[in-house]
């Protein structure tokens, strides 16, 4: 079967592994921003029709990932036993791992994959999340880049994340 995501290039030299669930919690929630990135990099946007809201317990949203593109810190994950991050659980075909590694910045070494267990309405779900690599992490959280926060909020609303989560994101505005 042909790869449905039109995946080519350095990010995709390794053979595909098994299908997986991607925990999407950052700018990739916004289909418009994702679509622009995909077009710029020669990908087709994954099918989000089977994505569902999910929570990642034991982690908090941190803004300790540097980004020249966004002009300031962008989202990552930091361990926090009494907190949780909201996002989408997105089932992905095996051949899409290269797309995800590229989109998440793992190809450049900015982010690294992390196996997690999500909470969903259907129960626990193993997934793959990404967080900033320790060697690239800023020394402290900073305020999120304003343009990045706008995209994050737009995506969170469009993805149907909880009103409480949207309020937490809104509270990050200066």
**Each residue of 106-124: pLDDT tens digit?**
999 999 999 999 999 999 9
Q: Quick one: pLDDT at residue 1?
A: 33
* Domain-embedded: residue 164: yes
No. of H helices and E strands in the chain? 4, 5
pLDDT at 140 over 90: yes
Please report which confidence band the pLDDT of residue 6 belongs to, taking 50, 70 and 90 as the band edges.
very low
* Domain-embedded: residue 3: no
pLDDT at 10 over 80: no
Domain encompassing residue 27:
16-168
* Domain-embedded: residue 2: no
* Domain-embedded: residue 141: yes
pLDDT at 66 over 70: yes
Q: How many domains does the chain have?
A: 1
Please report which confidence band the pLDDT of residue 159 belongs to, taking 50, 70 and 90 as the band edges.
very high
């Amino acid at each position: 079967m042909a790869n449905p995501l039109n995946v080519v290039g350095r990010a995709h030299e390794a053979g595909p592994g098994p299908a997986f669930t991607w925990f999407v919690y950052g700018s990739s929630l916004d289909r418009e921003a994702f679509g622009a990135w995909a077009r710029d990099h020669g990908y087709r946007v994954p099918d989000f029709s089977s994505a569902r809201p999910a929570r990642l317990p034991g982690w908090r949203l941190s803004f300790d990932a540097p980004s020249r593109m966004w002009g300031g810190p962008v989202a990552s994950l930091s361990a926090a036993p009494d907190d949780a991050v909201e996002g989408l659980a997105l089932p992905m075909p095996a051949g899409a791992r290269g797309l995800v590694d590229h989109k998440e910045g793992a190809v450049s070494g900015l982010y690294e994959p992390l196996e997690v267990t999500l909470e969903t309405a259907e129960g626990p779900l193993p997934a793959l999340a990404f967080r900033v690599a320790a060697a690239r992490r800023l020394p402290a959280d900073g305020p999120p880049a304003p343009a990045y926060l706008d995209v994050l909020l737009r995506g969170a609303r469009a993805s149907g994340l909880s009103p409480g989560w949207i309020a937490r994101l809104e509270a990050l505005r200066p």
